[in-house]
Chains A and B, each alone.
Chain A
Amino acid sequence: MLRPRMMSRVLIAGPAAYLEKAVEALHGTGTLHITDYTEQYAEFRLGAPLPGAAELSEKLLRLRAATKVLGIEEGGSPGPSGGKPEPRKGIDALLEELGRTVSVREAERQELEARLSEARRTIEAVRPFTALPLRFESYAPLESVAAFAGTVRTPIAAEVARITPRHELFTAPDGSFFALFVDRRHRAAVEKLLAQHSFAEAKPPLSEGAPSEVLSRNQALVAETQGKLGALSEELRAARARYMRDILDCQLELGLEVEKAEAPLRFAATRSSFLVEGWIPSDELDRTENSLLRTAGASVYLERIEEREWVADAEAAKGQSPHAGVAAGGEHGGGAEHPDPYEKVPVALSNPRPVKPFEMLTEMFSTPGYREIDPTVTMALVFPFFFGLMIGDLAYGLLLATAGALFMTRLRRFEGFRELGWYILLAGIVAAIFGAFVFGDAFGIPFHSPHGAHGAEAISWSGILGFEIPIKASVHKLEASGLGNLLMFSILAAVVHLSLGNILGIVNEWRHNRRHAAAKAGWLLTVLGFGFLILKFGESTSLGAWLWDNALWPFAPSLDPGIGILVPYASIVFLIVGVALVVAGEGAIALTEVMGVFSNILSYTRLGAIGVAKGAMAFAFNILIIPMVTGGNIGFAVFGCVLLVLAHMLVFMLGSLSSGIQALRLNLVEYFMKFFKGGGIKFIPFGKEKYDREKSSGA
């Protein structure tokens, strides 16, 4: 759980004749993370792809083109006109059929669309000319006559007449569009005149006949082409429904074939043998070896390299590289101070099923290193808790849980939605529990009206439902005492969470460097020192009083420096010892980060702050809108109800979004920074897709 799966380094070698069988076996088990060969051995060159790789890639390309034409997406549904799926075809048959139908239809469609846009352009061009009683032949260029057609801003008739009487002017009934024919000798003068009147020229289309005829001819063409296009896209839709399943299956199958065929490119090879290096989870070693033996026989040999051997190898390689740097650059490279022989080991996180989806959040920061603690399980506990606490409302919690369930079932085909659904389902449940038993409210309306409240502020569920709800809220978000308790709780959560982070830090560093581990212990003490100080400050709240009387009583004795704050002696001791350890472990520069711990702790007050802000927003909407609903005017009541739904949707969306992001941030920033380095290589087994498919269908 807290550690990734144990890995074994393996070397697989065999004669070239058995290459294909070995690839088949390894792909089938889906357990080997191949280390790409980088031509580091003089005797071996890069392997060549299996025969047929090029042909397979080409087929895959053709198939992808078809998916694009048909608008098929991975995981999409075949659409409403799904019909009965036909029996599964072979890849070649399918490609041949697609070529016959889909490609031809697509070419037809493109041609029709070109024709359609051409006709539409013509219609646009012809339309103004229909207002004039002239056929298009009239506009043909003549030796002695210049023709102009278009629009002007202001009338031109009088001025044209002044230039030359030898002209003919046709104007559309609405006066904007005109055609003008003048003696070619006056052409320049007329052009100048038109320019002064903001002339916009309209080019007559290269057609013959009356404009209205041309117009109706093209309109008919548009209608006809649209009809054909409609029929065609109907056909394509039908083809999509018919071929979708086949195409997706074939695509997956071809993808796997291509992966197999190209795998030898990552191997080392000589003329007569091949060699693969990689990593296999230790518990899968036997299964992989058996599968190799069964498929490829005893000629292919799998050897497990002992951990101490590859650790020594890696250290030797590290030791060499700085010298290489000196030789090449002449500069003394810093190099890695502590060579980590495990940095090349791929990391396969191993978590129980309920925790597995949270790996996505951990990976968002980084993949843990092979020898590092995998914090996913702590994240899986803390993230929904913080998320739910910030929402802290029965109704919003139930809504959130419903949304989560919906994401996990209906929308699971979208990438990441299954995981997201799980997070918000858990968070929703936590929020509902907090809302019901701690804060006692739903939709920002309390179960019981607060003391001394009157008017709209006194609205409560007990009042609305007409009976006394038997659960009493222990924390009222919008009262001073409630806010104080919420802030105290946030600080307490900070101390616990950050302490856990530092404890994990101690464990991580212990193997590498004891001095760094001591520094982590120093940071842990600093967290406790500042934490107790702040918690003491909040002793006047009921949670604070309880805490100092019960859980924290051994640390309660305090110094009173006379400035209105009590300083627990424990805080002083923790801070002095902590800072001393930090300086001893990480040097004096670490002093600059000591105050950072203080602000890290205060940063957790966002847990209370966002809860209160969201509660206040819902409360404000309620006291504004509810009187409108209950005012007695039926019109206002209906309008108020609509407004109320919209307002609560807004609060719900904003609240969930910010609560989720802030809960994530507290984990990724404040918590992970205390111990998590990451930078591990993700374990990607050869044949992964198949592996995934088998896994999800088996689950």
Chain B
Amino acid sequence: MDPMSAGLIAVGAGIAIAGGGIGTGLAQKDIGAAAVGATAENPKMFGRSIVFLVLPETLVIFGFVVAAMLWLKMA
């Protein structure tokens, strides 16, 4: 593979994971605030709010899958 294509693939992989990360972050900021509020009111909510908090992490996982597939193509 010529270096140019490899480089472009690497940039693409970076964008994939960065986009997923930003999306996850945007979603988590609201959920996180709500989760802390709920936990402050009722400490028993801690476990459940953690689970809610990690829900949007699926987005960055999708980004990771795309990045990994691109990387495997490059390697």
Contact = CB atoms under 8 A, between A and B. Distances in A.
Contacts of A364: 47-48, 51
A385 B39 CA distance: 29
Contact of B65 (A605, A661, A665, A668): A605
The DSSP consensus for interface residues of chain B is helix
A600 to B, nearest CB: 9
Given A602-B62, A605-B61, A669 B55 contact: yes
Contacts of B50: 661, 664
Q: Interface residues of A toward B: which range? A: 10 to 19
A665 B61 contact: no
- Specify which of A602, A664, A665 lies most central, judged by the most chain B CB atoms within 10 Å of its CB: A665
B57 A599 contact: no
Interface in A357-385: 364
Contact of A606 (B48, B51, B61, B72): B61
B35 to A, nearest CB: 12
Nearest to A363: B47
The DSSP consensus for interface residues of chain A is helix
Contacts of B48: 364
Contacts of B75: 480
Interface in A635-671: 661-662, 664-665, 668-669
Nearest to A600: B58
A487 B65 CA distance: 8
A145 interface: no
Contacts of A609: 61, 64-65, 68
A669 B52 CA distance: 9
A487 B54 contact: no
A484 B72 CA distance: 7
A202 interface: no
A665 B62 contact: no
A444 B51 CA distance: 28
- Specify which of B50, B57, B61 lies most central, judged by the most chain A CB atoms within 10 Å of its CB: B61
Contacts of A668: 51
A573 B71 CA distance: 32
A480 B61 contact: no
B30 to A, nearest CB: 18
28 contacts: A364-B47, A364-B48, A364-B51, A480-B71, A480-B72, A480-B75, A483-B71, A483-B72, A484-B72, A487-B65, A602-B58, A602-B61, A602-B62, A605-B61, A605-B64, A605-B68, A606-B57, A606-B64, A609-B68, A661-B50, A661-B51, A665-B51, A665-B54, A665-B55, A665-B57, A668-B51, A669-B51, A669-B55
Interface of B: 47-48, 50-51, 54-55, 57-58, 61-62, 64-65, 68, 71-72, 75
Interface of A: 364, 480, 483-484, 487, 599, 602-603, 605-606, 609, 661-662, 664-665, 668-669
Query: Which 4 pairs of residues, A with B, have the shortest CB-CB distance?
Result: A480-B75, A364-B47, A609-B64, A606-B61
